[in-house]
Amino acid sequence: MTEHSLHSSYREKLIEHLLVGNLLKLSWKNKNFSLEISKPEVDNAGYDLIAEANGIIRHIQLKTTFIGSATTTQKIHISLTKKPSGCVVWVYFNNETLDLGPYCYFGAAPGQPLPSLENLKTAKHTKGNAIGLKSERSNIRILNKGNFIKLKTINELYHQLFGST
């Protein structure tokens, strides 16, 4: 077992902070200074961050995967569709250096609602009940990697989220 599996919650939080820092840094470098970041008190509506810039409010569900991982799907909460401009940002990172990128994005243009999730497969619990049955998670849908737009840089991600920098 590696530190990545033993301390996955720590790593997830670290990647989140690095991403937020990179987005704020870009806002600073572009002399925009408008990016605001908030976090929900309770994690039950499908998003990890609220980010606002250029008059666009994004409710962002974050996903992370190390470069070279075989992961091809992500599970997302349907409540994200109820937010005005919800989206999913899938951050790839280097396992050794923790450098971020590339990024994958699922959502609509800035200011537009998340595309419908109705036609996506419903996720199941990873563990079975007493008789081994894995019940459906009615609020969770499975997104394939092909549903995402691949973005190489933090600049491209910022533009996808908020329009021009």
Q: What is the CATH number of the domain that holds 153?
A: 3.40.1350.10
Query: Order of strands across the sheet with 122-124?
Result: 73-77, 136-144, 122-124
Return the structure tokens found at 80.
């994200």
Report d(CA 165, CA 119) in Å as an integer.
33
Dump pLDDT digits (tens) for 89-111.
999 999 999 999 999 999 999 99
Return the structure tokens found at 108.
């609509």
pTM here?
0.91
User: Can you spell out the DSSP letters for 13-40?
Assistant: HHHHHHHHHHHHHHHHHTT----EEE--
pLDDT digit string (tens) for the chain, length 165 residues: 566 566 678 889 999 999 999 999 999 998 888 899 999 988 778 899 999 999 999 999 999 999 999 999 999 999 999 998 999 999 999 999 999 999 999 999 999 999 888 889 999 888 878 887 888 888 999 999 999 999 999 999 999 999 975
Q: How many structural domains compose the chain?
A: 1
- Which domain, by its residues, includes 62? 3-162
